[in-house]
Structure 1
Amino acid sequence: MQKFVGTGVALITPFKEDLSVDFDALVKLVNFNIDNGINYLVINGTTAESATISKEEKLRIIALIIKTNAGRVPLVLGIGGNNTLEVKKEIQATDLSNIDGILSVVPYYSKPTQEGFYQHFKALAEVSDVPIILYNVPGRTAKNMSAVTTIRLANDFPNIVGIKEAGNNMQQYLELLKNKPTDFLVISGDDDLALGITLAGGAGVISVIGQAYPKEFSTLINCGLEGKNKEGYAIHFKMMAIIDAIFEENNPAGIKTVLQELGFGINQVRLPLVKASKELHQKIANFVNTF
């Protein structure tokens, strides 16, 4: 699964002022990321505001990114939810012929037991023809999937190839790295921990900030993969302030503000999310203008 090693980016969905999808800005963003060294793209993940994007919009977004990518980098599609039967149906109904993997979030709101997490992903693994990357993000789902459950899934299902771990919990990362099967990928979902996790044996990152600074963040992760800690942390220290800033209020309002300052559309989001505050926007603009 070398195609998922390195820097993946969780693409935003750009919107116009009327909240329709800005497909032109999306094309520009995809090309910018590929041209500047990212290794793969994640489509319709949570950073893409997938909860507020219609089925028809999702299909158009997928088709456009496939066309724009033109086979240059692997593509990962977000398909997840807390209704296991419906997630299974979506996987079975989706044309995955141009998709290299699925990123599937831990069921949210329902707060399953660890056995519930296992049975949910078991059901998905049994119907998926493409590799699955688990996505553990307890800050959003309200419950943590333990390292023990993840390793159990990794051992039992060959098509569960990795996890995007985003609990900001270094101990859990290390437990995963210590006990995982050899080829199982531990991917950082925390931009602020990505370098350290990669240096410890992780497979890289699925990043938010990376789509705004793909060249810099890809270089940082490559330093991690090559064991160049001093060079990697030199970049990390330069980016610490902006990584903190984009998550200060909500995601993706922060990253969309960075991208607006860089010329990739505007920072419009759909309710219940709201734009970055004037104070945060100014902080981000100051960083962008001096980086």
Structure 2
Amino acid sequence: MTLTGLFVPLITPFTDDGAVAVDALHDLAEQALIDGATGLVALGTTAETAMLTDDERASVTEVCTRVCRAHGAPLILGAGANATAASMDAVAALDPSLAAALAVVPYYVRPSEAGVIAHFTHLAAVSPVPLIIYNIPYRTGRTLSADTLLRLAELPNVIGVKHAVGGIDDTTITLMSTRPTQFAVFAGDDLYASPLLALGASGAIVASAVVATAPFADLVTAWHRGDSMRARTIGHRLAGLTTALFAEPNPTVIKAVLAAQGRIPSPAVRLPLLPATESSLYTALAALKAFSAAGEQKSSGVLTAEMPR
């Protein structure tokens, strides 16, 4: 099984009184698929999963599952943490109809690379769905070498990696040039999505795509079709927008923009995150307006909003 294309990691919208805004989540999920996303990612970092209750996680999963089934689209679900035993329990309980589980490299405890391999070997053995490894060393504190990534790629039931290492480094080049053909590499850093797609990435899992789904879908398609001129143009235009959307911890600015667009009822996030500052919101809305003015709005359905006064 190989997954390709754009998968949009959804935020979890909240109402003014702090509850999960189920209707807004449904609309975000549906609009992402209408605008060209291949599928969705639920309960990732962008969803503030660590700050949700078990009941809220179940509600988010139900909404995203229902929307994906209605559209015949694949759903990837975030699962697992830094403890192997607990992660095994979590993935073992997953619905077999899911396209895959996105499982993060164990964080904080900083295991050896051999420990990381052992962790995913155990998870893959019990998971009823394929695993995508989430490699994000600036969050986990655990850098993985190319040799380790290639060993992980050989594990049964491991089908890919969300690669978010903060740039295009030597490890990335080695991985892209030597990975097994069926092992999917998803661009996981919004700013570096275009360069990684240029190197042959299977697709992208990028938070900014909830704000600009169609342009990111076009970016993936253009690189896959070999239309480098169009792909570079879209990638350059998206760079300013993604930089602005990540000016503060994800997903604070993204939520502020979505609220300003009227797509979610509130820009609220849960502690220890704080809402985006007005300055960051203003900059992001200006970047979105500039992106639209560059010619993408008409063809890609990017939504705009009035800047705060």
Match in the other structure for 2:119: 120
1:258, CA displacement in angstroms? Answer: 2.2
Contact 2:80/2:91, CA 8 A, preserved across alignment? no
Structure 2 equivalent of residue 194 of structure 1: 193
Q: Which whole-Å CA distance do the structure 1 matches of 2:166 and 2:221 have between them? A: 21
Q: For residues 39-188 of structure 1, what are the structure 2 equivalents within 5 Å?
A: 39-69=38-68, 70-94=70-94, 96-155=95-154, 157-171=155-169, 172-188=171-187
Q: Which stretches in structure 2 are left out of the alignment for 5+ residues?
A: 293-309
Q: Residue 205 of structure 2 aligns to which amino acid in structure 1?
A: I
Q: What is the deviation of 1:129?
A: 1.6
For residues 7-30 of structure 1, what are the alpha-carbon distances to aligned partners after superposition, in whole Å with 9 as ceiling and x for unaligned?
111111111122210111101101
User: Offset at 1:249?
Assistant: 1.2
Secondary structure in 1 matching 2:111: coil
Q: Does the residue aligned with 2:126 lie in a helix, a strand or coil? A: coil
Amino acid at match of 2:213: P
CA distance in 2, matches of 1:174, 1:82: 27
Give the C-alpha shift of residue 71 in structure 1: 4.7
8 A contact 2:96–2:129 mirrored in 1: no
Please give the alpha-carbon distance, in whole angstroms, between the structure 1 residues aligned to 2:79 and 2:245: 24
Q: CA deviation at 1:286?
A: 2.2
Give the CA deviation at 1:289.
3.9
Counterpart in the other structure of 2:295: none
Q: Name the aligned partner's letter for residue 15 of structure 1.
A: F
- Equivalent residues, number: 288
Question: 1:27, 1:187 → 2: CA distance?
Answer: 24
TM-score by length of 1: 0.95
Is structure 2 residue 272 aligned with structure 1 residue 268? no
Alpha carbons 2:135, 2:164 under 8 Å: kept: yes
Q: Deviations over 1:77-108 (max 9, x none)?
A: 000211110010111223x1331100000111
- State the shift of 1:52 in Å: 0.4
Are 2:4 and 2:203, in contact at CA under 8 Å, matched by a contact in 1? yes
The range that moved more, 100-109 or 69-78, is 69-78
Q: Percent identity?
A: 34
For residue 243 of structure 1, what is the aligned residue in structure 2? 242
Residue type matched to 1:76 in 2?
A: I
Aligned amino acid, residue 249 of structure 1 = E
Q: Distance in 2 between matches of 1:30 and 1:228?
A: 28
RMSD: 1.3
Could you tell me which amino acid in structure 1 is paired with residue 168 of structure 2? M
Q: What is the deviation of 1:44?
A: 0.2
Question: Partner letter of residue 157 of structure 2?
Answer: N
Which segment is superposed worse, 103-112 or 12-21? 12-21
CA–CA separation in structure 2 for the residues paired with 1:229 and 1:264: 33
Q: Distance between the aligned counterparts of 1:191 and 1:285, measured in 2?
A: 17
Give, in angstroms, the shift of residue 215 of structure 1: 0.9
Deviating runs (4+, > 4 A) in structure 1? none
Measured after TM superposition, the shift of residue 67 of structure 1 is 1.4
1:7 alignment partner, SS class: strand
Per-residue deviation, 1:62: 0.7
Q: Distance in 1 between matches of 2:149 and 2:232?
A: 29
What residue is the counterpart of 1:253 in the other structure? Answer: 252
Please say if residues 43 and 75 of structure 1, whose CA atoms lie closer than 8 Å, have aligned partners that are also in contact.
yes
User: Secondary structure at 1:57's aligned position in 2?
Assistant: helix
Specify the SS of the correspondent of 1:63. helix
CA distance in 1 between partners of 2:216 and 2:260 (Å): 18
- Equivalent position amino acid for 1:48 in 2: A
**Other structure's SS at 1:163 match:** strand
- Give the whole-Å Cα distance in 1 for the aligned partners of 2:111 and 2:182: 27
